Chain A
Amino acid sequence: MNVAALVEKRRTQWAELERMCDGVGTPRDVARFAALYRAACADLALATAYQLPPGTVTYLHRLVGRAHSRLYRSKRFDPASWGRVIFHDAPQQIFSDPCVRIAAILFFGLFSLSAYIAYNEEMFPNYVGSILGTAQVEQMEDSFSNGLSGNFSQYIGMAGFYIQHNTGIGLRCFAFGILLIPCLYVLCTNAAVLGASFGYMARDGVQGGDTFCEFVTAHGPFELTAIALSAGAGLRLGIGLIRTEGLTRLASLKVNALKSVPIMVAAAVLFVLAAFTEGFISPSPLYYPIKAGWAIMSSGLMMFYFVVLGFPRKGQL
């Protein structure tokens, strides 16, 4: 058989398919594209029987590959499913996930411990200096010593900064979860540093201490929970590599990655809420009970979200 003649005969169709891979226009073209793609598939299947040269077979593999990825397109984000992820999948997953519990206990436990040690000046006089560094302590005192003031244009700029910066920290913590140790490190460092700042500023007679407490009240619940949640999502990833539950290690990693994404989405939403609170409510000269009320309301909302929405439904236990 003359392979060259055969290839020459089919070549025009292949070239046409190759052109169509760059863009398909009219419905007639789409139908033609499908027909040409099936023909190329058949040619590839018969390549051995035709005794096609290896170069031509390679060409066919690439042609079919390109046409395949042109024909079967990627699934886009479905905005309709986002509501389901945020209000159904995420709380259910958070409620039932031991990793989230571990991360939360670790974070809030270390946070409280660090705050207590920093507050207790007589027993641990050097703690704050060694955790935060003297320069940062002074800077913190300076920034809160003048009381809270600001205008709307400052608030909105700061809100943008908090979204960019704090959510970034959360996402970084999540991504490091796959390596496990860096995630725990980021979580513990944040707990120790934040706890030390809170404890130090809560001491009697520290410059700007009252202002600090007023500042952090409103956004505290959202922000601290969001950090714990993103670390919990990260731990879910990393634990998936170790605790496989009968799956292969890779399959387990994939399953756990899918489980961890709703938690991270919830954490990101909390970060954004915290950023707006931190930008607009915290620095404003609002009456303090309003800020405290906001903190209580946000804590109550999160309780509702985690417990009521997250409680296992019938048949899901």
Chain B
Amino acid sequence: MVAATPLDTTTEVVTPENIAFEYQLAGPFRRLPAYLLDVMVYTCALLLLILIAILIGFASSSMLAVSIWGFIALVIWFVLGWFYGALCETFFNGRTIGKWACGLRVISIDGRPLSGMQATIRNLLRVADMAPYAALGQWEFEMAPIMNIPTALVGLIAVIATKRMQRLGDLAAGTMVVVDEKSWRLPVAKVDDARVPALASFFPGDYRVTPTMARTLAAYAERRSYLTPSRRREIARHLTDPLIDRFEFRHDIDPDLLLYALYFKTFLEADQNEAVALGALAGFSPLRKDQQPTDSGETS
């Protein structure tokens, strides 16, 4: 059977250890804040630079020192403006300061880290991705255009249209931007309902959960806390109706509780032979054959 590729923004990478793992691709809404942060960072660096240059200019009386500092400031401005991204991504392993703050990383499309050459290409071509530029007074002949505002439509369309969400610079360099989040909770849901182990002890010993069923159970247990009780029952009923017949349980059993117990049995139960302490629930049985004949007419 061919596994259906998931309909989400993940991409698979095969490591030299021959393990295939998935990266989540970063779309425009994750990349924009990172880029804006980067712009802020190097604008602040430039302002600081200008401030220092002015201070030195006031402090030193010689014209020569001032112009040498001006020269250095201009060259740094040039290098920062054009190569900030390339330098950061090369030396911080695919991250600029903005990407680091937003949990993004640039890697080659084959999963390896990017080289200095790739970082340079993708950052130089940003100018083309920012096109077309909208300028105030663009269509007036009398005044010169002031303020070039990048609309980034080219880059946006490229990101939307490509499989790995690459802008033109990424396409030329063979890189992609992935989410590289620092920490991730490790969810194994805790079961604190006393009825769950009790119900789980009534499952037949020969019932084995299939892998797809196990995945479904885990997803259900993770998400059931976001659902209202009636919604839980509505969703769970699709799976539990055949199970109730198979286990010969009563028909008025709560479908949500049944699925939750199945989850407990699959993932959490320590030892299957251990007797469950039923407590107040002792004497209760979900099985159809233990049901009182008097209330069978009402529930079935």
Q: Are B74 and A153 touching (Cβ within 8 A)?
A: no
A51 to B208 CA separation, bound complex (whole angstroms): 12
Q: Are B184 and A62 touching (Cβ within 8 A)?
A: yes
CB distance from B223 to the nearest CB of A (A): 10
CB distance from A57 to the nearest CB of B (A): 9
* Interface class of chain A by DSSP: helix
A163 to B131 CA separation, bound complex (whole angstroms): 24
Contact with B along A47-71 (1 / 0, CB 8 A): 0100101111011111111101110
* B168 neighbours in A (Cβ, 8 Å): 178-179
A31 at the B interface (CB under 8 A): no
* A51 neighbours in B (Cβ, 8 Å): 209, 211, 214-215, 266-267
Identify which of A7, A160, A250 contacts B186 (C-beta below 8 A).
A7
A264 to B125 CA separation, bound complex (whole angstroms): 12
A224 at the B interface (CB under 8 A): no
CB distance from A183 to the nearest CB of B (A): 9
A38 at the B interface (CB under 8 A): yes
Q: Are B111 and A68 touching (Cβ within 8 A)?
A: yes
A11 at the B interface (CB under 8 A): yes
CB distance from A173 to the nearest CB of B (A): 9
Identify which of B21, B81, B127 contacts A65 (C-beta below 8 A).
B21
* A58 neighbours in B (Cβ, 8 Å): 184
Q: Chain B, interface size: which category?
A: 35 or more
Instruction: Pick out which of these stretches binds chain B: A73-81, A103-111, A198-206, A209-217.
Output: A73-81
A176 to B222 CA separation, bound complex (whole angstroms): 49
Q: Are A53 and B218 touching (Cβ within 8 A)?
A: yes
* B267 neighbours in A (Cβ, 8 Å): 2-4, 51, 53
A250 to B162 CA separation, bound complex (whole angstroms): 11
Instruction: Pick out which of these stretches binds chain B: A91-99, A115-123, A164-172, A297-305.
Output: A164-172
* B266 neighbours in A (Cβ, 8 Å): 3, 51
Identify which of B71, B90, B172, B222 contacts A156 (C-beta below 8 A).
B71
Q: Are A55 and B71 touching (Cβ within 8 A)?
A: no
A182 at the B interface (CB under 8 A): yes
A88 at the B interface (CB under 8 A): no
Q: Which of B151-205 contact A (CB under 8 A)?
A: 154, 168, 171-174, 178, 180-181, 183-188
CB distance from B176 to the nearest CB of A (A): 12
* Interface class of chain B by DSSP: helix
B66 at the A interface (CB under 8 A): yes
Q: Which of A16-66 contact B (CB under 8 A)?
A: 18, 38, 41, 44-45, 48, 51, 53-56, 58-66
Q: Are B127 and A171 touching (Cβ within 8 A)?
A: yes
Residue on A nearest B94 in the bound complex, by CB: A74
A72 to B107 CA separation, bound complex (whole angstroms): 11
Residue on B nearest A240 in the bound complex, by CB: B172
A2 to B271 CA separation, bound complex (whole angstroms): 8
Residue on A nearest B10 in the bound complex, by CB: A61
A237 at the B interface (CB under 8 A): yes
Instruction: Pick out which of these stretches binds chain B: A188-196, A253-261, A288-296.
Output: A253-261
B126 at the A interface (CB under 8 A): yes
Q: Are B128 and A69 touching (Cβ within 8 A)?
A: no
Identify which of A77, A168, A177, A237 contacts B82 (C-beta below 8 A).
A168
CB distance from A53 to the nearest CB of B (A): 3
Contact with A along B102-116 (1 / 0, CB 8 A): 000101000111111
Q: A7-B186, A51-B214, A176-B128 are in contact. Are A69 and B93 (CB under 8 A)?
A: yes
- Chain A to chain B: the 7 pairs with minimum beta-carbon distance, closest first: A53-B218, A160-B74, A160-B71, A175-B127, A55-B187, A153-B67, A74-B113
Residue numbers of B with Cβ under 8 A of A are 13, 15, 17, 19, 21-23, 63-64, 66-68, 70-75, 77-78, 81-82, 89-91, 93-94, 105, 107, 111-117, 119-121, 124-128, 131, 154, 168, 171-174, 178, 180-181, 183-188, 209, 211, 214-215, 218-219, 221-222, 266-270
